[in-house]
Amino acid sequence: MTRSAKREWPKTALDWEVHLPQRGSRGLGQAAPRGEVVVRTPKHGEEHISVPVAVARSLDAKARGRELLPSSRAELLYSMGEVSRKCAMERSASLIDRRDYSEGELSERLLRDGYAPQTVEHTCKRAVECGLVDNTRFADAFIRSKLSQGWGRVRIERELSRRGIDIGDVPGWPELYLTQESEEETAYELASRRRLTGKNDYEKIVRFLSTRGFPLGLATRTARRVLDERQEES
């Protein structure tokens, strides 16, 4: 880490500094780099507080510009919280500008960036209140997109759950999106395109449809239908 924004105070008061990570310090597969705020007080000794890089940069800039001159540890921590919430909201807006996010996805992303749980909770709540995040809107677009790609209902429900959305909270699911007949036809169309080799074809079709998210019963019926038709054709 590089050292910056050191502020010396009498030993009876506050001494703090900001450390920024070196550029390119993140390796392949490694977690996002973090900044660090070092706080020294007679009562609490030396504390090392990990913060997202955006927060560290903002604190560093404010300290250098003499916008942030806390006289106590409590004042510094309060200011850090304010800066963190502002950076988290800016980060959320930047992410959502590229694509829609569910509340669960946004929360997970901010936590991965290094924001504290209470900051993430506050930010996600504000994002929902502002309309930046709407789980119903996200679920509707997600479902329609995945159905057009040939996903089955099981996979859609599983992926929505992974994104923090309870399928029971999605208005009109599944009646407004698909019927048993439309799901069966989608499964049949997908299975009909599969190249059959004459070896374990039934198992291969069932496995393929199951991975696409179609219920097991539907997958087995479709496999039998496809193989019966191929046999009749031959």
Name the pairing type of β-strands 15-20 and 34-41.
Answer: antiparallel
Give pLDDT tens digits for 4-43.
555 444 444 799 999 999 876 554 456 678 999 999 999 9
CA distance 69 to 63: 7
Q: How confident is the model at residue 136 (pLDDT cuts 50, 70, 90)?
A: very high
Provide the mean pLDDT of the chain.
91
pLDDT, position 96 = 96
Give me 203's structure tokens.
């198992």
Under 8 Å between Cβ of 156 and 138: no
Compute the distance between CA of residue 88 and CA of residue 116 in angstroms, rounded to an integer: 10
- In the numeric block, which tokens belong to residue 117? 């749980």
Tens digit of each residue's pLDDT (9 = 90 or more) over 89-98:
999 999 999 9
pTM of the model: 0.83
Whole-number percent of the chain with pLDDT over 70: 91
pLDDT at 25: 56
Length of the chain: 234
Looking at residue 37, its pLDDT comes to 97
Mean pLDDT calculated for residue range 111-134: 96
The mean per-residue pLDDT over the stretch 61-84 comes to 95
Residues in CB range of 31: below 8 A, 6 or more apart = 112
Q: What mean pLDDT comes out for the span 65-88? A: 96
- pLDDT tens figures, 155-168: 999 999 999 999 99
Q: How many CB atoms lie within 10 A of CB 124?
A: 23
pLDDT, position 42? 92
- pLDDT > 90: percent of the chain: 85
Q: Determine the Cα–Cα distance for residues 40 and 47; give it in Å rounded to an integer.
A: 6
Q: According to the model, what pLDDT value does residue 232 have?
A: 83
Place of tokens 């006289």: 71
| DSSP code string of the chain | -EEEEEE---TTS-EEEEEEPPTT-PPTTPPPPEEEEEEEETTTEEEEEEEEHHHHHHHHHHHHTTS---SSHHHHHHHHHHHHHHHHHHHHHHHHHHS---HHHHHHHHHHHT--HHHHHHHHHHHHHTTS--HHHHHHHHHHHHHHTT--HHHHHHHHHHTT--GGGSTTTTTTT--HHHHHHHHHHHHHTSPP-SSSHHHHHHHHHHHTT--HHHHHHHHHHHHHHHHHH-
Question: pLDDT value at position 1?
Answer: 52
* pLDDT tens digits along 170-220: 999 999 999 999 999 999 999 999 998 989 999 999 999 999 999 999 999
Question: Residue 18: beta bridge partners?
Answer: 4, 37
The pLDDT of residue 13 is: 77
Q: What is the pLDDT of residue 22?
A: 81
